[in-house]
Every structure is written in structure tokens, then in C-alpha cells.
């Protein structure tokens, strides 16, 4: 039985298009589900409805088989980590963490050790007496996580928990949140607009667009078998080629001709991930001749822009010692596997 079920969940503001439209989701116990999409796609609205921070227009939210749709936030037993931390500025870190326990009438003698446990969990054991404003952004983030976890909520809701952090800290926190979530086995909903974050952390990802669920799947499915052009474009990078498809699956974009999966003929958009393009010949795959127009070196990757008969394709190669470095105006042949060509009807 799923731990959290959203049934035909909808949120409307006035007569405008719904912020969230007929959303159906089932989240298993202990699963980390990511809500991924650009700003305004309804992911935060969905999270806020689950947390009871905004009322639903229609639909139902069930937690462990119980309908919680009409329950106010303080009776829902959910831990929420807010985008701007929302640590109470007039309380110390320890008081912040103890707040939820006090609300649950936890005996005083038990509160102290549990606060300490929570601090240990986020690896900030000595900061209990500080005020939130004396902490760094990363530390505040962890305390907010500790405060939400200490009450042992039935569901943990994370609203962009890694935004406003610098890149290095972000990566550390990513692993840390995932570790803690796995260790506690806590069902978690994670809202993010960052596809790398979603891919790296989530068991499953729900990609949203304009209030609708675009695709639901494992990170692997989302990345390798995107259901729509939007998903393919939003998750990961891709070369986009406007083209036509013949009945036999041949795809033509100007002078560039290649094969893709079969499908109805007509105007299409073909997408190819830059790192699936290579200069080494691929057996039985697509090949195209072109001229390098730009080379960008970013340390671990070398991105070459190649002009193939009027179509510009970016090829990404890992930088390996001993490999010849391509240069601008080099004549090259690029190749890729047929199944790496993703084709969607033109919009």
C-alpha cells in the first residue's frame, strides 16, 4: 500500500489555468520522490498542499490510508524544510529543534537527548546554544533539517533545500540528505528545479510542467526514455534538431540525414545528448561529416561544436590524456547509436 497518495489533486486560483491539475501520485513508504520542473510548474504548490499550508481546490490526499485533505497543518505530522530555512530567530538552535517536541508534549527529560541526537544526525553537535543568525547558510539548512526530523514525521517535505548554497556545499548536502533519508527510511517529497539534484537523489522523479504531470519514473527512465520533448529537454542537455521523418524512420535536417526509432512520418524534433556523440566510429550507428567551429575546455569535459551540413551539434568528450585534442576547422566524422536519437513530434 502506498504511504502517500494524491488523487486528482487540483489547485485553482480564480479563473486562470489551474496551478496544479488532476495530479495522481503514489509514493511508497521510505521512498524519496522528486517533484522536478521549471518555476511556475506547480511543484511547490503541490508540496504546500501536501503539507496543508494551502487548501486544495479538489482532490484528495491520503497518508497511510487516512484522508488528511481537510486536516490543518499542525495535525498532519509532516516535517517541512522551507526554502528560506524559517528558523525562529528569537530562539536558540536547541530551542528551535525542541519546539516540535514541546508541541508533542514530549517529557522534558526526553527532549534534551533527542535534540542532541538530532544535532549529531546533521553533524553539528556543538551548535545548540547559538542563535540561527550566527550560523552559516549551510549550517542553518542542516538545523532546519534536524528540526523537521526530530519530530519523526510520517512524511518529510523538502522545498528546494539546496538552493542558495555554493556548488561544493550543495554536493555535500545532497549526499548527506540522501544518507539520512535512507537511514531513517522516511518517506520524502523533494521539490527542486535542478535536474542534476533530482537525478542524483531521488528514487523516482515526477517531472511537472504548467500544473501537469509530464512524466513519472526512475532517474534512469526519465533520462534515457523521456516521454516528451519537454522532459528530454529539461532533464540533461541535448542537441535539438528540427527535422522531417520519412515512413522508414529516416530523419532529414537539411543535408544531415540519419536514422532514429521508427514512427509516424512528418515534422519532428530530434534530440541527441552531447555526450552520446563521439568522434570514434560506432558500428551500425549514425555518422555525419562536419567541421569543428568551436572548442570549449571545461576541465573534465571538452565540448566541440560541429557544423554538419548546416546543423550545429555539440559533442562532449571526457578529457583523457593521450587523446588528440580537436581544433577549430578540423574536418571530423561524428557518430552515435541509433537508439540515442530521441524523436518527438514537432510542437
Chain positions contacting other proteins, by CB under 8 A: 51-53, 72-80, 82, 84, 86-90, 99-100, 103-104, 147-148, 151, 157
Residue 165 backbone dihedrals phi, psi, to 5 degrees? -110, 150
Is residue 136 within 8 Å of residue 143, measured between CB atoms?
no
Please, which residue, 49 or 231, has the CB nearer to other proteins?
A: 49
Rounded least distance, CB 164 to other proteins, Å: 14
The CA distance from 321 to 87, in Å, is 49
* Spatial CA neighbour of 216 closest among 71, 37, 92: 37
Cβ-Cβ contacts under 8 Å for 302 (sequence gap 6 or more): 295, 296, 316, 317, 318, 319, 325, 326
The CA distance from 66 to 274, in Å, is 46
The CA distance from 4 to 26, in Å, is 6
Please, which residue, 88 or 297, has the CB nearer to other proteins?
A: 88
Rounded least distance, CB 180 to other proteins, Å: 18
Rounded least distance, CB 127 to other proteins, Å: 18
Rounded least distance, CB 54 to other proteins, Å: 10
Rounded least distance, CB 238 to other proteins, Å: 36
Hey, which bits of the chain come out as E strands?
A: 4-11, 20-27, 32-36, 58-63, 66-67, 78-81, 155-159, 187-192, 204-209, 212-217, 239-245, 250-253, 256-259, 266-272, 286-297, 301-308, 311-318, 331-336, 342-345
Q: Mind giving me the DSSP string for 95-129?
A: HHHHHHHHHTT--HHHHHHHHHHHHHHTT-TT-TT
3-state SS string over 63-82? ECCEECCCCCHHHCCEEEEE
DSSP 325: P
Rounded least distance, CB 134 to other proteins, Å: 12
Rounded least distance, CB 199 to other proteins, Å: 27
Rounded least distance, CB 33 to other proteins, Å: 18
The CA distance from 233 to 223, in Å, is 10
* Spatial CA neighbour of 128 closest among 155, 95, 102, 150: 95
Rounded least distance, CB 103 to other proteins, Å: 4
Please, which residue, 79 or 138, has the CB nearer to other proteins?
A: 79
Please, which residue, 3 or 204, has the CB nearer to other proteins?
A: 3
Amino acid at each position: 500500500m502506498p504511504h502517500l497518495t494524491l488523487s486528482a489533486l487540483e489547485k485553482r486560483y480564480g479563473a486562470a489555468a489551474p496551478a496544479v491539475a488532476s495530479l495522481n501520485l503514489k509514493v511508497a513508504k521510505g521512498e524519496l520522490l522528486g517533484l522536478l520542473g521549471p518555476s511556475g510548474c506547480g511543484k511547490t504548490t503541490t508540496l504546500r498542499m501536501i503539507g496543508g499550508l494551502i487548501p486544495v481546490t479538489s482532490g484528495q490526499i491520503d497518508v497511510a490510508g487516512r484522508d488528511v485533505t481537510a486536516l490543518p497543518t499542525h495535525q498532519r505530522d509532516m516535517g517541512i524544510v522551507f526554502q528560506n530555512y524559517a528558523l525562529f530567530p528569537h530562539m536558540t538552535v536547541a530551542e528551535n529543534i525542541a519546539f516540535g517536541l514541546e508541541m508533542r508534549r514530549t517529557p522534558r527529560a526526553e527532549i534534551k537527548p533527542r535534540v542532541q541526537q538530532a544535532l549529531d544526525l546533521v553533524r553539528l553537535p556543538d551548535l545548540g546554544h547559538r542563535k540561527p543568525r550566527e550560523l552559516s547558510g549551510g549550517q542553518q539548512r542542516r538545523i532546519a533539517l534536524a528540526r523537521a526530523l526530530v519530530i519523526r514525521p510520517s512524511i518529510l517535505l523538502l522545498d528546494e533545500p539546496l538552493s542558495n548554497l555554493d556548488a561544493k556545499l550543495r554536493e555535500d548536502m545532497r549526499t548527506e540528505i540522501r544518507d539520512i533519508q535512507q537511514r531513517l527510511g522516511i518517506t520524502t517529497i523533494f521539490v527542486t528545479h535542478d535536474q542534476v539534484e533530482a537525478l542524483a537523489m531521488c528514487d523516482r522523479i515526477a517531472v511537472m510542467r504548467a500544473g501537469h504531470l509530464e512524466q513519472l519514473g526512475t532517474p534512469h527512465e526519465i533520462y534515457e526514455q523521456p516521454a516528451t520533448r519537454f522532459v528530454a529537454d529539461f532533464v540533461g542537455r541535448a542537441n535539438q534538431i528540427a527535422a522531417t521523418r520519412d515512413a522508414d524512420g529516416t530523419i532529414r535536417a537539411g543535408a544531415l540525414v540519419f536514422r532514429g526509432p521508427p514512427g509516424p512520418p512528418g515534422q519532428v524534433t530530434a534530440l541527441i545528448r552531447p555526450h552520446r556523440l563521439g568522434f570514434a566510429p560506432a558500428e551500425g550507428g549514425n555518422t555525419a561529416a562536419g567541421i569543428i567551429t568551436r572548442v570549449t575546455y571545461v576541465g573534465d569535459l571538452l565540448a566541440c561544436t560541429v557544423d554538419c551540413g548546416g546543423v550545429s551539434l555539440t559533442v562532449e568528450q571526457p578529457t583523457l590524456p593521450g587523446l588528440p585534442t580537436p581544433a577549430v576547422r578540423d574536418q571530423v566524422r561524428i557518430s552515435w547509436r541509433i537508439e540515442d536519437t530521441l524523436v518527438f513530434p514537432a510542437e
